[in-house]
Structure 1
Amino acid sequence: MTTIRREVLTLPAAPLGPDNPLPPLRPLDEAHHIDERDRAGLPRDMARQVDYEPLRSLLPLRVRDGYDREREPREVDALVIENDRLRATVLPGLGGRVASLHHKPTDRELLYVNPVLQPANFALNGAWFSGGIEWNIGATGHTTLACSPVHAARVPAPDGGEMLRLWEWERLRDLPFQVDLWLPEGSDFLHVGVRIRNPHERPVPTYWWSNIAVPEDRRVLAPADEAWLFGYERRLRRVPVPSYDGTDRTYPLNSTHPADYFYEVPDGRRRWIAALDEHGHGLAQTSTDLLRGRKLFVWGTGSGGRRWQEWLTEPGTGGYCEIQAGLARTQLEHVRLEAESEVSWLEAYGPLDAAPRGEWHAALRRAEDRLEAVLPRDDVDAAYEAWLPYADAEPGQSLATGSGWGALEVLRTGWKLPGTPFAEDTLGDEQRPWLHLLRTGSLPEPGRHEPPGSTLVARPWRDMLETTAATPIAEYHLGVAQWHGGDRAQAVRSWERGLKTAPAGWPLLRCLAVADREDGHHERAADRYTEAFDDLCERLREQREETDVRVEDAQWTAVAAALGREAIEALLAVGRTADARAVWQRLRPATRARGRFRLTEAELLAAEGRREAARAVFDEGFEVADLREGAESIGRLWARLGDEPLPARHDFRMRPDGG
């Protein structure tokens, strides 16, 4: 019989820390852009989906950059679903990640299991970690839910047993989704039913890729003779499979640089992908035909890829690659989901034994024949049809609680979403001011010594902000929503109005500084950043005097760090090193000791002409915990300081030209 139980894992983990309190107003820092030279050669449907509403902003979310690299044993809640053949371990507090898939008869782990929990800057909104199976919804990139809780509950399964249902509200596109996991009796394959719903009265772009981490000493098989190759030089081109440039790229360790291979699976061919070791053992993923895309991601054997592998886990741990399955050919595309409609499919994950070596088509036939023997294609289609009536089944016992954002949207709209209830009792502090706006038409002022909370930017919320009383906090949030909607001039006017009567001007001044910088008014942006940081320091001084204690609250530490970092960057951009140094000196010692700010210190020293002192920062050593995927700032600064090769510990370069 299939069982579902709670479990607590203990593993070395770095704390997530507080989110960045400043709204992400600048354009999305996303590496997956296609060079214009490659667009003309794309298939028509692919080109249309590449251009279909790519994500341009993280709003209404905030950036998750408060983590560090100090790991210590921590307890992590897990849910375990198992039968007599498989055991799947799911982390509901971390996006519903399947952390482990263990095949009991052979005592084999089918996934790459990361022995540590180390956040790194790979998700769209920052914090992400490697390993297992993750459910990527929203837009191109790793999901914003990677390190966030989701709802979980027991639900009746099609075979009379139990399913584990995960569900949440995806905030970038405002779409509810669910993931149902179950193990039919005697099955070697974990079944996963996925549904995304669009309750809106308009079409919405959607995106899905199931991302499976497996050990990289494998051969990856997928039924294709061609693939779309995308690397960090942002070129997209069609290449033959398995070999191009004289090398078989279906072995991840045969590539030098990080790259994506999106397989061109022919229409009518069964959708599957597998990663098998030299003995023919490994994991296969298959699905109903709607989930058309298949992909291999490799880190490569170059110094940058190896360094990232170490960065995401710990030295001595085996490397991994990713095999993936998605709604489109590539992850550069978004799919149109019609108004008041839904999309759903079924996936299956389990062991596969087939000799992977030798001629490509022979290896494919062996793997495909074996897959058909252990899990026929017709059985996958039948399992999907059997699951569909249960997709609306109301959850039973609650096993984990996600966010309250879905409950807020359901209260606003009255939407009925069978199977994925967003209960009012899940509303929390983040939703409270918006619930007040919804029910009373007014937005409450934050506490005297509280920074403003996050902003809701969808059009219905913006409409409410436009009709509420024009208080400083309302003007602040309205400006953020207008900025997100593309009405920048109106956003600036809202922030300027709010600034006239705001008891604390720094949130509005910072927004105006970003607007100036984006419009090319760099000197004025530097002035406003300086004024904003001065105002923040004055507000913190007043708090200390009123409360007679030093203000060390985590949220205020995060505010000062985030605003100070932006101010220094803006001041250095216009050559005002003395003003940048003044901001630096007012940051707290603990903030200045963080790796991100050690890099900032080196940049400041270099700008002051103190190259030896800047080199000394490198010699002393630092780690930028939130270094962005594809970032080259460390290498560029190092090159300014001398001609020596970049030390391996700082080499995170992912482009073939070395950045």
Structure 2
Amino acid sequence: MTENAPAGNITAGTITLEVAAFGPDSPLPPVAAGIQAPYRVGMGVPDELAARAAYGYPPNIYPYTIQDGYSRQRQDRELPAVVLENRHLRATVLPGLGGRIWELFDKASGKQLLHSPRTIQFANFALRNAWFAGGLEWNIGTRGHTPTSCIPWHTAVLTVPGGDQVLRMWEFERLRGVVVQVDLWLPADSRVLFSAVRLRNPAPDEVPMYWWSNAAVPETEDTRVIAPATTAFGSDYETDIQRVTPTEHEGRDATWPVRNDHAADYFFDIPEGRRHWITAVDADGDGLAMLSTSRLRGKKLFVWGQGDGGRNWQEWLSPGGGRYAEIQAGLAQTQFEHLPMPGRAEWSWVEAYGNARLDPATAHGAWDAAVEHAQSRLAALADQQALEEALAFAGSIADTAPQDRLLVGTGWGALEEELRRVTGMQPLDTGGTPFPADTLTGEQAPWVELLRHGLPDGGSPLTFPGSGSFVAGPAWERLLEGAAGAEARFHGATLKHARQDLAPAEQLYAQALELDPGHALAHRGLGLLLLATGRVAQGLAELRAACAADPAGGKLLAEAMTLHLAHAEPRAALLLAEQAPPGTVAAGRNRFLTACALAGSGRTEEAAAILREGVEIPDLLEGDNAISELWQQLCPGEEVPRKYRFSMH
């Protein structure tokens, strides 16, 4: 790492990694209802857990945009990095990419405790699409890799009384409207890195809350995952979630990741009164231990499995980086639950990460003995009293203002502060997580303009400027009602559409199109709304109008073709491709959709030729088997090429 500014045991600088080009966000607001629970609840699941599984899912991730502009071409890039180091550990953090702990190096063993590849390849695994494998990430909002995975977090250093250093990272999470704060510190002689997480709900109303800390760990033939439980709630992405015994699952001990044939989740059912921890250890007994205070109840193992799909996904995500599994810790017992967070509430907990350093023979032996041995070793690594003292320390500095700013996050927190100032609401910042006005960017500029000049009682109405960014909430709806022009009507429609208030959204889309008949995104929004309400022919016609209004819009084309194919209109989908500029259909998803449209139109030889020449979709969705299925349809009897095998089961 290149050093810039030492600060005690914290050093700010850069790290050079091979990183894919990120590209622009999609201009299409994610307004359709699409997020839903991924599992059905099966046998042996408690009633209260099943009830929480039915609570809290948002319809979509609006007002976030979709991050799908990346490629699979990588080159060396310097990324902001912060290192916390003592004589036992060295932790490297990437504040510009969601505040992820990228490396945790144990000096005694000479081992990386996290899966830390030298490549960052974005892929379609997160709520906003873009995600990358490796390190330890913070997931907040709803099930899935967080909307904040690939954005910078505000980052600063605190120097506390006595001269100790704390790395603070924070952001305004827009899906739930909460402030998330992560403090990291590594005491001089500590064998664990501490993290203190604080979530604050500044609203008076309850919000559904979700949090999981996900650590990617190296997977070897001898890796075993241990947690203090005998049963778990498990799913393999095809069956209902049900109670299982991981050590005797499907005829094998699934606590060895390599003994799993296919991708699977195991949420350990840790009994009341037991410490909350999970560890993954190798042949030498070394490996990451994750310990936490009691609020972080859930502990999970995720495995990719040993099939072609699991292997391909890992190579897709970490080219040349080796195999990995994940151990995770969450607020709820499983990842299909949300917990109700009351208005004005604050939730805090502490996690600790270090090398478990278990006896290898015991750790790889009988389960009960392995658990008791790990329990004893981890108590010596960081006992419960140490975690509770760390939680008290974190609470004592939680509202202390950070002194040395290292990185600026997004401007959305600053915009929220401005909205609260104008409308008379309480501010977001309580002292420890500032969102100053100098962090506003061009993304927020039109909304700042609306706040300052577009109030309904504030004089002449505002002609709202075009924007590729979006906002949510009743205060913004009221402000938009006081602004004039097609853009204001479009954004008002989008806001209502996103929360599935469809009748007024339809009226506003129509008003926007009356003012600007060539408004491509208004045609698109109206098309999606019409499809959602069963008016298929009209909806598809609006999508075609959107493509005609913006013929170079590759994202519009992909969505329109996908929806035409989904509604058995392959010839119309093919016509859209033929009418589009060549550059928008030449590669990636649109090339594959063209093959689908050709196949559906009876032109199977042309479709097969596209697959034989090669199709690569940079943002191929996790679990998407469409390419292999089309190959089987077009090339019966021929083995699906390995590069097209992505089935997780």
Q: Provide TM-score, normalisation by structure 1.
A: 0.92
Aligned-residue offset at 1:444: 5.2
Q: Which deviates more from structure 2 when the two are superposed, residues 434-443 or residues 481-490?
A: 434-443
Q: Quick check: 281-290 or 20-29, which moved more?
A: 20-29
| Equivalent-residue separation in structure 1 for 2:87 and 2:161 (angstroms) | 18
Partner Cα separation in structure 2 for residue 189 and residue 455 of structure 1 = 41
1:635, distance to aligned residue in structure 2 (A): 2.6
Whether 1:20 and 2:13 are equivalent positions in the alignment is no
Determine the C-alpha separation between the residues in 2 that align with 1:12 and 1:446. 41
User: Is 1:251 aligned to 2:256, yes or no?
Assistant: yes
Query: In 1, are the aligned partners of 2:131 and 2:149 still within 8 Å (CA)?
Result: yes
Q: Which moved more, 1:488-497 or 1:19-28?
A: 19-28
Match of residue 367 from structure 1: 374
Which of 551, 557, 560 aligns to 1:564? It is 557
1:153 and 1:165 in contact (8 A); partners too: yes
1:477 is the counterpart of 2:491:
yes
Which one of 440, 461, 465 corresponds to residue 480 of structure 2?
A: 465
Which secondary structure does the structure 1 equivalent of 2:602 belong to? coil
Question: Paired residue for 2:169, among 159, 166, 169?
Answer: 166
Displacement of 1:137 = 0.8
Q: Counterpart amino acid of 1:397?
A: D
Which of 106, 127, 130 is equivalent to 1:127? 130
SS in 2 for 1:490: helix
SS at match of 1:199: coil
Deviation track 1:615-653 (CA, whole Å, cap 9, x = no partner) reads: 111111121110111112223322321323322111111
1:5 aligns with 2:11: yes
Alignment partner, residue 553 of structure 1: none
- Letter of the 2:403 counterpart: G
- Where does structure 1 lack aligned partners over 5 or more consecutive residues? 538-556
Of 364-373 and 337-346, deviating more is 364-373
| Partner of residue 346 from structure 1, selected from 347, 350, 358 | 350
Q: Percent identity?
A: 42
Q: Is the contact between residue 558 and residue 589 of structure 2 (CA under 8 Å) also seen in structure 1? A: no
In structure 2, do the counterparts of structure 1 residues 70 and 29 end up closer, same or farther at CA, with 3 Å as the change threshold? farther
Do structure 1's residue 432 and structure 2's residue 425 form an aligned pair?
A: no
1:238 aligned residue (236, 243, 262): 243
The aligned residue for residue 323 of structure 2 is 319
- CA separation in 2, counterparts of 1:584 and 1:492? 27
| Residue of structure 2 aligned with 1:498, choices 505, 512, 515 | 512
> The residue matched to 1:407 in structure 2 has which SS?
helix
Residue 525 of structure 2 aligns to a residue whose secondary structure is: helix
**Deviation for aligned residue 1:216:** 1.5
Amino acid at match of 1:417: T
Q: What is the aligned length?
A: 626
**SS at 1:323 equivalent:** strand
Secondary structure in 1 matching 2:70: coil
Hey, what's the Cα distance between the residues in 2 that align with 1:364 and 1:157?
37
SS at 2:21 equivalent:
coil
Please tell me the residue identity of whatever aligns with 2:374: A
Partner of 2:545: 531
Compare 272-281 and 45-54 and name the one that shifted more. 45-54
What are the superposed Cα offsets for residues 119-147 of structure 1, whole Å, 9 maximum, x if unpaired? 00001110000000001111111011111
Q: Aligned residue for 2:341?
A: 337
Picking from 174, 188, 204, the partner of 2:207 is: 204
| Residue deviations 1:387-442 (CA, integer Å, cap 9, x gap) | 21011111011000101111111222241422101111111111111112222225
Structure 1 letter corresponding to 2:542: R
- Residue aligned with 1:248, SS: coil
Question: Equivalent residue for 1:546?
Answer: none
Indicate if the aligned counterparts of 1:33 and 1:234 stay in contact, CA closer than 8 A: no
Q: Secondary structure at the match of 1:47?
A: helix
What amino acid is aligned across from residue 300 of structure 1 in structure 2? G
Counterpart for residue 222 of structure 1? 227
How far has the Cα of 1:452 moved from its partner?
3.6
SS at match of 2:365: coil
- Cα pair 2:183 2:394 within 8 Å, conserved: no
Indicate which of 532, 543, 547 corresponds to 1:518: 532
Tell me whether 382-391 or 163-172 shows the greater mean CA deviation. Answer: 382-391
Query: Aligned pair in 2 of structure 1 residues 291, 500: CA closer, same or farther (>3 Å)?
Result: same
For the structure 1 residues 241 and 232, does the alpha-carbon distance in structure 2 shift closer, same or farther, using more than 3 Å as the test? closer
Contact 1:2-1:184 at 8 Å conserved across structures? no
The reply to whether residue 404 of structure 1 matches residue 406 of structure 2 is no
Partner of 2:458: none
Q: Secondary structure at the match of 2:483?
A: coil
**CA gap 1:591/1:536 in 2 versus in 1, 3 angstroms:** closer
> What are the within-5 Å matches in structure 2 for residues 253-652 of structure 1?
253-315=258-320, 317-354=321-358, 355=360, 356-413=363-420, 414-415=426-427, 416-441=429-454, 445=463, 452-466=467-481, 468-502=482-516, 504-537=518-551, 560-643=553-636, 644-652=638-646
Change (3 A) 1:463 1:580: same
Cα distance, 1:524 vs structure 2: 1.3
User: What CA distance in whole angstroms lies between the structure 2 residues aligned with 1:158 and 1:628?
Assistant: 48
Native 8 Å contact 2:122 2:131 kept in 1: yes
Separation of aligned partners in 2, 1:131 and 1:181: 18
Q: Which amino acid aligns with 2:62?
A: L
Q: In structure 1, what residue type is equivalent to 2:642?
A: A
Separation (CA, whole Å) in 2 of partners of 1:340 and 1:90:
30
**Do the aligned partners of 1:232 and 1:630 also contact (CA within 8 Å) in 2?**
no
SS in 2 for 1:281: coil
Report the CA distance shift for 1:436/1:232 in structure 2 as closer, same or farther (over 3 A).
same
- CA distances 1:272-313 after superposition (whole Å, capped 9, x unpaired): 111100111111110111111000000000111111011001
Give, in whole Å, the separation in 1 of the partners of 2:153 and 2:9. 20
Q: 1:107 to 1:503 in 2, by over 3 A?
A: same
1:545 corresponds in structure 2 to none
Distance 1:634 1:121 in 2: 15
Stretches of structure 2 lacking an aligned partner (at least 5 in a row): 1-6, 421-425, 456-460
Q: Give the aligned partner of residue 540 of structure 1.
A: none
1:109 to 108, 112, 117: 112
* Matching residue's letter, 2:373: R
Rounded to whole Å, the distance in 2 between the matches of 1:62 and 1:444 is: 24
Q: 1:251 to 1:465 in 2, by over 3 A?
A: same
> What's the TM-score once normalised by structure 2's chain length?
0.93
2:78 is aligned, of 75, 81, 84, to 75
Q: Check conservation: 1:525, 1:570, Cα contact below 8 A.
A: no
SS at 1:601's partner residue? helix
Shift of 1:520: 2.1
In the alignment, residue 259 of structure 1 is paired with which amino acid?
A
SS of alignment partner, residue 280 of structure 1: coil
Q: Is the contact made by 1:433 and 1:444 (CA closer than 8 Å) also made in structure 2?
A: no
The AA in structure 2 aligned to 1:173 is R
Q: Distance in 1 between matches of 2:405 and 2:380?
A: 37
